[in-house]
């Protein structure tokens, strides 16, 4: 693999991308390599099948939802920019920068991460998690030993706990209020690029 | 029960005592039959008609003839009984690793033998140990080594193995030499070379001892792999150092040339070992390509080839352990594709069995021989050895991890380092090596004693204390306050997401080489070494393997648990009127919900999983999840009103019952219908284009071996008169086919593209009359591609 700079020059609009997502050049290079590795036919776009080829992702109970999150509605392919933008959600949040209320919410803040998780539930994108959507997610996350009635009770209970305005669905605001902070690893602080980051920065040329 | 076992053990020992008055077990030939028994040998013809006028002996005993195998068997049985005995009382094995228990029993037996002035069999002689006892253990370790984590950590493993062992040996040797200079200990006659030699022996971390402890304690995968790999691969260094120092100990002067030669020799030993292993592995794979007609002896090849690799490496004095490990690693992947399912199971079981038995015997005899050898005790030397070994290992681990951590994707934190250092147990290899020291070394007995002390210390004290220590360190147990259901569900979802995205981003540096190797593998190696070479997507391969296993398991289970389902909660309902009243959830309901969630939600794919396979064969529990999920999705897709009659009962019972249900169920047993989708143009009434090239898995035929009993609904079925399926059945079959196809190619089978394909193939089906009414007990799924 060539040097960082030569790879960066292959990617159009790289500075804008870095600005928007906050990734360092080394991160971008690494993601580009991954993108190319996934894009087996070198079309420059990824299709759902390419994602599906990742075995462990296919084993994930919500794997197909995660894959779906990369594709905007109506889009069949993902190009590198969108790929990076979505992954930017998972960057560790910058704790040091003070919140500037005039600037738009940075892409990797806690709120945007929760929004991403919310969208995994909310497949029809109406801004609310309805009971049916919740049931679907529950079904995929639970093994078969659970009966329909139990699933439905769990879903009911979930909505009951979170629903504050009695519309029998969970909106994003209500979702945010769920005290997820106490549970482990919830705010993506140990984002997936965390581990590779020091390596990348110290060994950008290593392949 | 335990008492009975103990009595039995003691009984066996006493029984073996008179036998012990003869000497060793293999390879010494039973040449002790020198005395002609006064009684004629049993069954021998009366060749001396003019002999003493004795009558035909009714009962004769010729012990000497069977002595050697008999003793071997008895010892093996004895050790195995001990092993049974431990597991009777589960708590013991929890706190005390099995190796300790075995050594203790060995000590007891040794004491008994010593008091009766018997010599134990010389099992721990050099040849017997290295030629017979060690290979099975190493083969087992190599065969069941998880390849993916191993290759991901191969750099770290080699780093620790090579540099770590060197560090330890040189450090301990030097410091011991310094200690020897102290007059008070009276060991001044041990010169530098002998010290270094001894240090080389002592610093070898032993695979046998460590792994049994680690698996009992279930440390995480990374640690396990590093220690495991280190133990296996430091053999190369140990062999070189040992031979070098033995050679040097005889020489009066050490020249710089010899140092260079030593380094060169190290490379020869290490790389040579690996090379031999790989060669034999490939030869074995190639051989199994042709064994489709001799399935019964397939497992033999594995064992013979790996043993051959070991022996050839021993022939050239290169690292035989590395040879056999690499052979097993190379072989496993290809051979398991070539051999039949039964042979595969047989191989696994036998490898496991041999390894366990060898290990048991080794520890056992360690105990026995401890008592019966001559010792020379020297407080200073021994204590300092123990201390220095610990210190140098700790230092070594610290320094080495500092250097290698920046290169690792998952760096080792302090806890890991502590466990790495503390887990450096010594074992039987050191012991066997020290026994083979040439007698020209004056202080051999001292060395022997020290080694034994070292082993006992590490195995007992470190082995027993490591588990409480690990638990103590990992003490971050969050109290399970009753979080809300919301938190539980959402946090699980988020964890799955994180795991998913991590998988998406993939590993860093290894991907490139892995990719290259996989390409090479697919293009060249697989074609040569595997009989049925078709490039496979691993999900499909996995699926078909699991289906097979599952089908067999179901056939084996006697009865499903009909009541398992109802054992779960009974939740209290309010009548669901259209007004959607708020349901009241009682506290008991909540508890039950938490219970359900915690027991049944899919586990996250953990990066560092606990790894326990010592006492059981590795299982595919995680991969079974795919299977279950696929089954569920098929079932659900079948559900929307495509059948008459009783259909999939979504009141789910436990898994086995569910599948049982499908067999006995009176509707269409579609799930195990194995269907024949042909895409062969010649027989189709109209041309079918082959599936679009965007399939992940290529063209697939799913073939019926034998079809299920089609106990169909009363409207459907096989119409004998017209020899066709009824229309309804065709519809059912096609729906089923589509569902199964959807499993394999979920994205493609979204349209009704498949319907004509399926129906047409069913026509062909009819004409050939392939469907017979075979009972559903003979189902097999085979994906032929």
The single-letter DSSP state of residue B220 is: B
Phi, psi of B494 (to 5 degrees): -65, -35
Q: Which of B478, B492, B573 sits opposite A141 (nearest CB)?
A: B492
B residues 657..696 contacting A (CB < 8 A): 658, 694, 696
- Given an 8 Å threshold on Cβ–Cβ distance, is B655 in contact with A66? no
CB contact under 8 Å between A49 and B694, yes or no, is yes
Q: How far is A179 from chain B (nearest CA, A)?
A: 7
pLDDT at position B280 is 92
A60–B500 CB contact, under 8 Å = yes
Q: Do the Cβ atoms of B713 and B668 come closer than 8 Å?
A: yes
Number of residues written out for chain A: 207
- CB contact under 8 Å between A178 and B490, yes or no, is yes
Contact between residue B206 and residue B99 where contact means Cβ atoms under 8 Å apart? no
Q: Is the dihedral of CA B604, B608, B614, B615 positive or negative?
A: negative
pLDDT for A145 equals 64
Among the partner-chain residues B478, B494, B571, the one whose CB lies closest to the CB of A149 is B571
Asked if A63's CB is within 8 angstroms of B493's CB, the reply is no
Q: What H or E segment, with its residue span, contains residue B783?
A: strand B781-784
Instruction: Identify whether B651 is preceded by a cis peptide bond (ω within 30 of 0).
Output: no
Show residues of chain B in contact with A116, CB under 8 Å: 497
CA–CA gap between residue B268 and residue B247 (Å, rounded): 17
Residues of B in contact with A37 (CB under 8 A): 506, 511, 515
- Chain B nearest CA to A181, separation (Å): 9
In this structure, how many other beta carbons lie within 10 angstroms of the beta carbon of residue B4?
A: 10
Check CB contact under 8 Å for B573 and A162.
no
| Contacting residues of B for A66, CB less than 8 Å apart | 497, 500-501, 504
Report the alpha-carbon distance of residue B281 to residue B302 in Å, rounded.
9
Percent of chain A with pLDDT over 70: 73
User: Which of B495, B504, B635 should we substitute to test contact with A (largest number of A Cβ atoms within 10 Å)?
Assistant: B504
Task: Answer for the pair B635, B543: CB distance below 8 angstroms, yes or no.
Answer: no
With contacts defined as CB-CB under 8 Å, which chain A residues touch B483? 182-183
With beta carbons under 8 A apart, name residues in chain B contacting A179. 484, 487
Residues 6+ apart with CB under 8 A from B92: B86, B101
Q: Distance between CA atoms of A169 and A130, rounded to whole angstroms?
A: 5
Cβ-based contacts of B590 with chain A (< 8 Å): 157
**Interface touch A146/B652, C-beta < 8 Å:** yes
Which residues numbered 549-608 in B keep a CB inside 8 Å of some CB on A? Answer: 564-565, 568-569, 571, 573, 580, 582-583, 585, 589-590, 593, 596-597, 599-602, 605
Which residues in chain A touch residue B583, judged by CB atoms under 8 angstroms apart?
Answer: 153, 156-157, 160
Q: Do A34 and B406 touch (CB under 8 A)?
A: no
Alpha-carbon dihedral angle through residues B167, B168, B171, B173, given to the nearest 10 degrees:
-130
Residues forming beta bridges with residue A45, ordered by sequence position: A79
Distance, CA of B92 to CA of B462 (rounded, Å): 16
Query: For residue B101, what is the enclosing H or E element?
Result: helix B98-115
Each residue's pLDDT tens digit, B75-124? 889 888 888 888 887 777 777 777 888 888 888 888 888 888 776 666 55
B637 has a chain A CB within 8 A of its CB = no
User: Of A31, A161, A188, which is closest to B485 when you measure between CB atoms?
Assistant: A161
Residue of B nearest to A88 (CA): B501
Count CA within 13 A, CB hemisphere, residue B543: 23
Partners of residue B781 on adjacent β-strands: B704
Q: How many CA atoms lie within 13 A of B160 on its CB side?
A: 29
Inter-chain residue contact A157 with B585, CB threshold 8 Å = yes
Residues 6+ apart with CB under 8 A from A3: A204, A205
β-bridge partners, B610:
B220
Q: How far apart are CA B420 and CA B397, in angstroms?
A: 7
Please answer whether residues B441 and B189 qualify as being in contact, where contact means their C-beta atoms are separated by less than 8 angstroms. Answer: no
Q: Does B651 touch chain A (CB under 8 A)?
A: yes
Question: Which positions in chain B touch A90 (Cβ < 8 Å)?
Answer: 498, 501
Tokens (6 digits) for B713: 């609904």
Q: What DSSP assignment string belongs to B290-324?
A: TGGG-GGGHHHHHHHHHHHHHHHHHHTTS-HHHHH
Residue A186: which pLDDT band, with cuts at 50, 70 and 90? very low
Reading the block at residue B405, the tokens are 């951590």
**How far apart are the C-alpha atoms of B7 and B548, rounded to whole Å?**
45
Instruction: Flag if B565 and A145 touch (Cβ within 8 Å).
Output: yes
Task: Mark residue B317 as left, alpha or beta (left: phi above 0; alpha: psi -120 to 50; beta: remaining).
Answer: left
Q: Coil, helix or strand for A103?
A: coil
Determine the residue of chain A that is closest to B506 in CA distance.
A34
B172, B203 Cβ separation under 8 angstroms: yes
**Angstrom distance (rounded) from CA B39 to CA B20:** 23
Question: CA B508, CA A195: separation in Å to the nearest integer?
Answer: 9
A183 with B483: Cβ contact below 8 A = yes
User: Measured between CA atoms, how close is A145 to chain B, in angstroms?
Assistant: 6
Place of tokens 């951590």: B405
Core vs surface per residue B760-779: b (16+ CB within 10 A) or e: bbbbebbeeeebeeeebeeb
Give the span between the Cα atoms of B640 and B480, in whole angstroms.
40
DSSP B450-518: HHHHHHHIIIIIIHHHHHHHHHHHT----------HHHHHHHHHHHHHHHHHHHHH--STHHHHHHHHH
Determine what percent of chain A falls in helix, strand and coil, rounding each to the nearest 5. 55, 5, 40
Q: Compare CB distances from B538 to A55, A161, A206 and report the shortest one's residue.
A: A55
Cβ(B743)–Cβ(B630) under 8 Å? yes
Whose CA is closest to A24, among A207, A190, A206, A202? Answer: A202
Cβ atoms of residues B659 and B560 within 8 Å? yes
Q: Verify whether the Cβ–Cβ distance A63 to B500 is below 8 Å.
A: yes
Q: Is the dihedral of CA B111, B113, B118, B119 positive or negative?
A: negative
3-state secondary structure B585-647: CCHHHHHHHHHHHHHHECCCCCCCCECCCCCCCCCCHHHHHHHHHHHHHHHHHHCCCCCCCCC
Residue B140: closest CA among B319, B354, B346? B354
Report the gap between the CA of A177 and the closest CA in chain B (Å). Answer: 10
- CA–CA min distance A104, chain B (Å): 24
Binary contact (A196, B626; C-beta < 8 A): no
Question: What integer pLDDT is reported at residue B676 of this predicted model?
Answer: 35
Cβ distance of A186 and B484 shorter than 8 Å: no
Q: What is the pLDDT of residue B556?
A: 62
Task: Tell me whether 0.95 is exceeded by the ipTM.
Answer: no
A132 to chain B, closest Cα gap in Å: 15
Other CB atoms within 10 A of residue B397 CB: 24
B539 Cα to chain A: minimum distance (Å): 7
- Selection from B264, B335, B337 nearest residue B306 by Cα: B335
Q: What are the Cα distances from residue A173, in Å, to A114, A115, A127, A158, A159? A: 10, 10, 10, 15, 13
Are B652 and A147 inside 8 Å of each other by CB? Answer: yes
Closest CA to B266 of B230, B314, B312, B319: B319
Task: Give pLDDT, residue B463.
Answer: 81
- Cβ separation of B497 and A116 shorter than 8 Å? yes
A 10 A CB-CB count for B197 gives 29
Cα–Cα dist A186/A93, whole Å: 12
Name the percent of chain A lying above pLDDT 90. Answer: 0
B589 vs A contacts (CB less than 8 Å): 153, 157
**Residue numbers in chain B where pLDDT is lower than 70:** 1-53, 119-125, 187, 207-219, 248-254, 409-410, 474-484, 506-516, 532-589, 598-785
Give the chain B residue whose CA is nearest to the CA of A167: B580
Q: Determine whether B578 is exposed, middle or buried from the number of CB atoms within 10 Å of its CB (0-12, 13-18, 19+).
A: exposed
| Residue B753 in tokens | 């593209």
Between strands A170-171 and A128-129, the pairing is: antiparallel
Which contacts (CB < 8 Å, 24+ apart) does range B733-739 have?
Answer: B733/B670, B733/B673, B733/B675, B733/B758, B733/B762, B734/B758, B734/B759, B734/B762, B735/B638, B735/B642, B735/B670, B736/B638, B736/B668, B736/B670, B736/B671, B736/B673, B736/B675, B737/B675, B737/B677, B738/B637, B739/B634, B739/B637, B739/B638, B739/B670
For the record, the structure tokens of A185 come out as 């690893």
Hey, are the CB atoms on B605 and A60 less than 8 Å from each other? yes
């Amino acid at each position: 693999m060539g040097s960082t700079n030569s790879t960066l020059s292959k990617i159009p609009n790289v500075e804008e991308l870095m600005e928007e997502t906050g990734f360092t050049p080394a991160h971008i290079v690494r993601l580009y390599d991954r993108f190319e590795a996934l894009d087996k036919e070198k079309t420059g776009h990824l299709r759902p099948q390419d994602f599906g080829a990742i075995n462990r992702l296919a084993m994930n109970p919500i794997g197909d939802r995660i894959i779906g999150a990369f594709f905007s509605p109506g889009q069949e392919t993902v190009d590198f920019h969108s790929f990076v933008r979505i992954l930017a959600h998972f960057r560790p949040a910058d704790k040091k920068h003070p919140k500037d209320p005039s600037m738009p919410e940075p892409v990797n803040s806690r709120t945007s991460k929760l929004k991403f998780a919310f969208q995994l539930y909310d497949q029809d994108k109406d801004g609310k998690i309805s009971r049916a959507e919740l049931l679907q997610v529950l079904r995929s996350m639970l093994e078969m030993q659970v009966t329909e009635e139990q699933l439905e009770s769990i879903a009911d209970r979930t909505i009951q706990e979170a629903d504050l305005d009695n519309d029998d669905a969970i909106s994003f605001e209500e979702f945010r209020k769920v005290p997820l902070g106490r549970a482990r690893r919830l705010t993506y602080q140990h984002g997936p690029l965390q581990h590779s980051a020091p390596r990348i920065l110290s060994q950008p040329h290593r392949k | 029960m335990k008492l009975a076992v103990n009595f039995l053990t003691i009984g066996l020992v006493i029984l073996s005592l008179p036998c012990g008055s003869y000497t060793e077990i293999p390879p010494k030939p039973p040449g002790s039959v020198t005395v002609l028994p006064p009684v004629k040998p049993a069954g021998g013809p009366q060749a001396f008609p003019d002999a003493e006028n004795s009558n035909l002996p009714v009962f004769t005993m010729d012990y000497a003839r069977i002595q050697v195998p008999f003793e071997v068997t008895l010892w093996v049985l004895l050790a195995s009984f001990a092993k049974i005995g431990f597991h009777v009382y589960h708590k013991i094995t929890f706190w005390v690793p099995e190796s300790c228990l075995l050594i203790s029993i060995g000590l007891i037996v040794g004491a008994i033998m010593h008091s009766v002035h018997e010599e134990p069999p010389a099992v721990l002689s050099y040849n017997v140990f290295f030629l017979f006892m060690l290979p099975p253990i190493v083969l087992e370790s190599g065969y069941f080594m998880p390849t993916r984590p191993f290759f991901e950590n191969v750099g770290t493993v080699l780093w620790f193995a090579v540099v770590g062992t060197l560090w330890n040996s040189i450090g301990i040797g030097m410091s011991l030499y310094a200690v020897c200079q102290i007059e008070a200990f009276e060991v001044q006659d041990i010169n530098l070379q002998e010290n270094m030699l001894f240090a080389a022996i002592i610093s070898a971390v032993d695979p046998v001892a460590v792994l049994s402890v680690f698996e009992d304690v279930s440390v995480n995968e990374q640690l396990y792999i590093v220690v495991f790999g280190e133990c296996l691969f430091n053999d190369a260094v140990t062999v070189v150092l040992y031979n070098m120092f033995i050679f040097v100990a005889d020489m009066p002067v050490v020249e710089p040339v010899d140092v260079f030669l030593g380094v060169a020799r190290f490379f020869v030993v290490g790389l040579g070992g690996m090379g031999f292993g790989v060669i034999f592995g490939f030869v074995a794979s190639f051989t199994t390509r042709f064994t489709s007609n001799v399935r019964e002896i397939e497992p033999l090849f594995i064992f013979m080839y790996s043993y051959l690799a070991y022996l050839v490496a021993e022939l050239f004095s290169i690292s035989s352990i590395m040879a056999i490990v690499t052979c097993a690693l190379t072989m496993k992947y290809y051979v398991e594709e070539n051999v039949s399912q039964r042979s595969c199971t047989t191989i696994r079981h036998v490898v496991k069995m041999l390894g366990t038995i060898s290990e048991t015997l080794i520890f056992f005899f360690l105990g026995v021989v401890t008592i019966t050898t001559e010792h020379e005790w020297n407080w200073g030397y021994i204590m300092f050895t123990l201390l220095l070994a610990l210190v140098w290992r700790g230092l070594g681990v610290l320094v080495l991890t500092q250097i290698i951590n920046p290169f690792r994707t998952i760096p080792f934190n302090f806890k890991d380092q502590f466990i790495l250092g503390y887990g450096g147990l010594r074992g039987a290899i050191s012991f066997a090596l020290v026994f083979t020291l040439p007698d020209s070394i004056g202080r051999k007995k001292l060395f022997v004693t020290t080694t034994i002390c070292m082993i006992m210390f590490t195995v007992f004290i470190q082995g027993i204390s490591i588990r409480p220590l690990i638990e103590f360190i990992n003490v971050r147990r969050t109290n399970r306050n009753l979080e809300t259901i919301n938190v539980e569900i959402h946090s699980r979802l988020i964890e799955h997401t994180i795991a998913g995205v991590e998988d998406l981003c993939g590993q860093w540096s290894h991907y490139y080489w892995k990719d290259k190797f996989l390409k090479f593998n697919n293009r060249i190696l697989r074609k040569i070494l595997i009989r049925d070479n078709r490039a496979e997507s691993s999900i499909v391969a996995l699926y078909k393997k699991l289906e097979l296993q599952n089908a067999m398991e179901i056939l084996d289970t006697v009865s499903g648990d009909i009541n398992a389902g109802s054992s779960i909660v009974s939740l209290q309902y309010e009548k669901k009127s259209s007004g959607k009243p708020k349901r009241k959830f009682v506290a008991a309901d909540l508890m039950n919900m938490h219970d359900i969630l915690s027991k049944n939600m899919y586990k996250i794919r953990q990066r560092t999983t606990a790894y326990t396979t010592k006492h059981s064969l590795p299982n595919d529990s995680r991969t079974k999840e795919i299977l279950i999920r696929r089954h569920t999705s098929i079932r659900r897709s079948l559900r929307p009103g495509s059948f008459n009659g009783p259909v999939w009962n979504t009141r789910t019972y436990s898994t086995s019952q569910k599948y049982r249900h499908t067999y006995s169920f009176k509707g269409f047993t579609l799930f195990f219908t194995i269907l024949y989708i042909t895409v062969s143009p010649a027989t189709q009434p109209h041309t079918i284009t082959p599936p679009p090239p965007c399939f992940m898995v290529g063209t697939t035929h799913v073939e019926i071996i034998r079809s299920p009993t089609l106990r169909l609904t009363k409207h459907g079925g096989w119409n004998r008169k017209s020899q066709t399926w009824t229309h309804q059945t065709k519809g059912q079959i096609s729906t089923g086919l589509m569902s199964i196809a959807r499993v394999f190619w979920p994205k493609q089978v979204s349209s009704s593209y498949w319907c004509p394909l399926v129906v047409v193939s069913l026509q062909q089906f009819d004409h050939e009359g392939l469907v017979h009414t075979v009972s559903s007990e003979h189902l097999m799924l085979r994906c032929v591609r």
